[in-house]
Every structure is written in C-alpha cells, then in structure tokens.
Amino acid sequence: MESLMLLNYKSILFESDQPIWKKVDKNIRLNEFTKEELFYYSKKHKDYKKKTFARKDSIILKFGKGEDDIMCFNVSNFILEIINHEKLGSGLKLIWNTYCFEVFGQIEQWNRDLKKYCIQYNLKTKYTLGKKLGNGSFADVYLLIHKESKQEFAVKIYDKSSTKFDLTCVKQELDILRQMDHPFTSQIIETYESSKYLYLIQEFYKYGSLYDYLLQTQITEDDAIKTTYKLLEALVNIHSKGVLHRDIKPENILLRKPNLEDIVISDFGLAVYYNENGKYNHQRAGTPGSIAPEILKDQNYDYKVDVYGLGIVLYQMLTSKQSPFYNQNYQKMLSENQEGFIDYSLMNSSSQTIDLLTKMLDPDPSARYTVIQAKQDQVFKKYNRQTIIIKRKKIVQDKTASSFSPRSNSIFFSPSPKQTPPIIISSPKNCSQFNKRILGIPLRSKNDDRRQFFSPNSFINNGIPQNSTRKHYQMSTNQTRKSIYQGINSYKPAF
C-alpha cells in the first residue's frame, strides 16, 4: 500500500518531467559498465521480459537488437524501493515523478550501489535515531544507529518547510558528495526523504577533526608534511572532478582514527563547480584567515584557492596552532588576509618546508603552486611514498561516507552550472616574497566565522549580507568542543 501511495508522491528533489531514456553518447566507454541479465516489466508486452542491462554509478544502459541500439538514463534522485514478485523474487523499483522502472534478478549489488544516488523513504524501519550531535539554521545532525548492524552514522536532517531551506544548495552539495570516491575525501552513504524532512546519512567521525587534534597534540614537521601530502592527494581527486572546495581548514579535516593516519577532507557546503571565466554566483566564500587573497579582492579565481587554504593548514600544523592572520579587529584581519604576506623568519622549520609554504601561500595566484606542482615539490621526495600514504582500502558503500558538512554556518549561495574542465597544471614561475610580513588567521573558534562575503560580484539570492562585526577569533585551548558536529542554534529537528 505504501509503495502504491509513493507513486503519487513528488520528491522535492524531482525536477520537471523530461525524457527518461536517451540515446547514449558515442564516446561512452562501455567497458567500464557492468552487464547484467535482468527481468524488467515491458509496458509494450504487458509482461516481464529478460533483457541485458549495464550500470556504472548512477547510469543504467539497456541494449537493443543492434550494436548501436543502446539507451541510457541517470537514476540520480530517483526513489529507490525493494519489491518482491511471487515468481521472479526480489527486485528494484525506481520512481521518477510518474515514471516507474522495475527489474528483477541478481539485484543485490545494484541495491548497494544505488543507495548513494537515489532516495529512500523507509528510514525508521532501518535506523534508530540517537542523540543530537549538532544543530544549525539549515540542518540538524543526529547520531543514527543501524538496527541490524548497530553501526553508528551521522544523519543530517533538513526541514523542507523552513524558509531557510535552500534546495539549490542542497542539490549541488548532494551532487558533489556523490562524486567523491577518494579514501581521503568524505562521501555520502544514503539519502532518505519524508513528507517533511530530507535526511543525508554520512560517516560518523568520533575522533573529531584536525582542529581538535591540534588542541591536544604538537605535530612534528615530518607528520605535518606527511599529512599535507595526503591532503594534496585528496585535492587532486576533488579538482579532477571539476570541483573547488573553497573551505579547506583544520575543522574540515576529520579523523577516522585517533591519529593522522586516516584523514578526510569534509564539508562541501561551500564547494562549487569550476567556471572557466573564474566567476561564481557568490564570489566571496570561505573562512576569514583561510581565504585566498584573490577572493577577498573580488578577482576571478580557480583551483588554486584550495592550495592556499591547505597552505594555511600546513602553517598552523608547523606553528603549534598559531595563526598568521590573527587580529582581534575583524576588519583588520580581513585586510591582512587580503594582503597575504607572511613573516616566515620566526618559523622553526627546514628551508625546504618553508620554500613549499611560500609557494603554496603566494598572494599572487599566477605565481602560486597548483595542486599538482605542490604534490611534486622536493620536500616530499625524501619520504618513501608508502610512509606517507596508507594502503588504499576499498570503500564499502555501507560503511564509508561523508562527514557532517553543516551549511548552518555558511552564508547563502546559489551554485553555478556544472562544468568539469581538466585541472590547470601550468603556472608562471613562482615569485613569492617570503620576506614580507603577512597576516595570520586563527583556527576557527566561532561557528559563524565560515561564511560567504557580500561583494559587488556576489549575488545573494537567499538573504542579506551578514554583519561584518566579529569578535573573539583567537583559538583557545579552553574552548575545546564536545563534538565536531556542534554548530549554531536552530529550529528543533524531527525524525
């Protein structure tokens, strides 16, 4: 009965009716798809017929009689349901508006893989809601416990009726998270929806973030370099998908273990797709003190803004949590961040490491390292690669996913159209002026530090510019948070 009712239910993620099956692109790589012989319901014959299908990620192919007779459709944001047939056994039903697609056979792998891309509706039958981990203006985060395995997850709950719910932002964040497939990037496990709420199930990081780790542990130069290399590997993968993270900082680097061995870049709430003209709906975005100078100058920018953010993270690891841009006056901090010059003379690090820093933190983006250039820097050559990178484990969809990425502490933005060009790998010769004084930014101790900034090139569709008067940005060891999921006050979520 519930399944029949669902056919009349319109998901908030549905778009207008459009052709489901389309002719495949001639450049499609069929060898990357896994073929399956499955039964499907044929409306033409009004019966179940056996047919060859193939699938890769969220794309499903069906093969006709001729070699070129191949059709495809993308099941992202389709409603996914397990069904049973008295003769054919278990099957999958995929629903989009009024369209319904059913297949029967060996569908176990399909079901496991499609959970990442589709929407489900029976959350309460599979999970038990635990304690609140954090809250925000856009979403609240709870601990979620799988009833059978007792495994813990974090679920991000959106109230669809809230005036602060930004569907455009949620769709883009979902789309980006679903593309993440690197061991050092967070991913999403499942998405559920009810008539009132949208649920994003992600990995629960009980060991906290690099921010928490820095409060308790002094990192050696070797550990800082090894950690930076892992994060560069993650950024190479992120950029290869045409995505700019735009908010690289210690709080968004999370730990799967109580050390730096297994880390991930998380929180894609401010991420956007690369635009070749360097302009975005919200040009200014990030956390004060970690922002690349060209963003604060309202200039066009590209992937190198993430290299700058990672350079700040490396600086903080090497200086025992000190910030190059800290200033109690918020406007002065932004001004210093915009100038972007750092005094490296007080750093107790090797000349090779400081050279890497100057090239990652060059205020001139044309001279700054790309992520590929940074990864190839000589400072990493003295290490055996296996001492830097953990053995890449196969990511099991039901166990590994994205961390909580709160949009509650970011300002409103609308994404740009998706564009995925190759990574920019060329750059003029570096001309870092490391002898000039720069600013420094503290690790974020206030949840409203991370934001997008109003500027002439920003088009804020969902709110007004936030008050630029901020205080108490200095990090204090007495401000240790109980959870990495703690955010801002908001409406009370429901299960």
pLDDT digits (tens, 9 = 90+) for 285-337: 999 999 999 999 999 999 999 999 999 999 999 997 777 998 889 899 999 99
Give the residue-averaged pLDDT of 210-222: 93
> Is 331 inside a domain boundary?
yes
Please state the pTM of the whole predicted model.
0.77
- pLDDT of residue 7 exceeding 70, the answer is no
> Is 491 inside a domain boundary?
no
pLDDT class of 11 with cuts at 50, 70, 90: confident
> Is 304 inside a domain boundary?
yes
CATH number at residue 182: 3.30.200.20
- pLDDT of residue 425 exceeding 80, the answer is no
- Examine the domain organization and report whether 333 and 353 are in the same domain: yes
Domain tally, the chain: 3
pLDDT class of 423 with cuts at 50, 70, 90: very low
- Examine the domain organization and report whether 246 and 373 are in the same domain: yes
Residue (of 209, 212, 214) closest to 224 by Cα position: 214
- Examine the domain organization and report whether 250 and 380 are in the same domain: yes
- pLDDT of residue 392 exceeding 70, the answer is no
Residue (of 36, 41, 89) closest to 60 by Cα position: 36
Cα–Cα distance, 396 to 109 (Å, whole number): 11
**Conformation bin of residue 89: beta by default, left when phi > 0, alpha when psi is -120 to 50:** left
> Is 308 inside a domain boundary?
yes
- pLDDT of residue 247 exceeding 80, the answer is yes
Task: Report the pLDDT value the prediction gives residue 93, as an integer from 0 to 100.
Answer: 94
- pLDDT of residue 210 exceeding 50, the answer is yes
pLDDT class of 384 with cuts at 50, 70, 90: low
Give the residue-averaged pLDDT of 212-238: 95
CATH number at residue 377: 1.10.510.10
- Examine the domain organization and report whether 388 and 464 are in the same domain: yes
- Examine the domain organization and report whether 370 and 432 are in the same domain: yes
Active site residues: 247
> Is 92 inside a domain boundary?
yes
Task: Report the pLDDT value the prediction gives residue 207, as an integer from 0 to 100.
Answer: 93
- Examine the domain organization and report whether 452 and 367 are in the same domain: yes
Task: Give, in degrees to the nearest 5, the angle at Cα 293 between 287 and 299.
Answer: 110
> Is 460 inside a domain boundary?
yes
- pLDDT of residue 139 exceeding 90, the answer is no
CB 403 within 8 A of CB 133: no
Task: Report the pLDDT value the prediction gives residue 183, as an integer from 0 to 100.
Answer: 94
Length reported for the chain: 495
- pLDDT of residue 2 exceeding 50, the answer is no
What percentage of the chain carries pLDDT values higher than 70? 74
Task: Report the pLDDT value the prediction gives residue 354, as an integer from 0 to 100.
Answer: 96
Cα–Cα distance, 343 to 322 (Å, whole number): 13
> Is 273 inside a domain boundary?
yes
Phi, psi for residue 6 in degrees, rounded to 5: -65, -25
Cα–Cα distance, 153 to 485 (Å, whole number): 12
Task: Report the pLDDT value the prediction gives residue 318, as an integer from 0 to 100.
Answer: 94
- Examine the domain organization and report whether 37 and 158 are in the same domain: no
- Examine the domain organization and report whether 139 and 257 are in the same domain: no
- pLDDT of residue 346 exceeding 70, the answer is yes
- Examine the domain organization and report whether 220 and 360 are in the same domain: yes
Three-state secondary structure string covering the chain: CHHHHHCCCCCCCCCCCCCCCEECCCCCCHHHCEEEEEEEEECCCCEEEEEEEEEECCEEEEECCCCCCEEEEECCCCEEEEEEECCCEEEEEEEECCEEEEEECCCHHHHHHHCCCCEECCHHHHEEEEEEEECCCCCEEEEEEECCCCCEEEEEEEECCCCCCCHHHHHHHHHHHHHCCCCCECCEEEEEECCCEEEEEEECCCCCEHHHHHHHCCCCHHHHHHHHHHHHHHHHHHHHCCEECCCCCHHHEEECCCCCCCEEECCCCCCEECCCCCCCCCCEEECCCCCCHHHHCCCCCCCHHHHHHHHHHHHHHHCCCCCCECCCCHHHHHHHHHHCCCCCCCCCCCHHHHHHHHHHCCCCCCCCCCHHHHHCCHHHCCCCHHHHCCCCCCCCCCCCCCCCCCCCCCCCCCCCCCCCCCCCCCCCCCCCCCCCCCCECCCCCCCCCCEEECCCCCCCCCCCCCCCCCCCCCCCHHHCCCCCCCCCCCCCCCC
Angstrom CA distances, 251 to 137, 314, 411, 445, stand at: 19, 13, 17, 10
- Examine the domain organization and report whether 283 and 172 are in the same domain: no
For residue 445, give its domain range.
210-398+407-479
- The tokens describing 482, both together, are 């109980």
Task: Report the pLDDT value the prediction gives residue 103, as an integer from 0 to 100.
Answer: 93
156 assigned ligand-binding residue: yes
Q: Final residue of a domain: which of 203, 233, 259?
A: 203
- Examine the domain organization and report whether 304 and 166 are in the same domain: no
> Is 370 inside a domain boundary?
yes
pLDDT class of 15 with cuts at 50, 70, 90: confident
Give the residue-averaged pLDDT of 245-253: 95
Range of weakest confidence among 258-262, 448-452, 478-482: 478-482
- Name the residue with higher pLDDT: 382 or 250: 250
Range of weakest confidence among 17-26, 73-82, 160-169, 329-338: 17-26
- Examine the domain organization and report whether 144 and 26 are in the same domain: no
Give the residue-averaged pLDDT of 151-174: 91
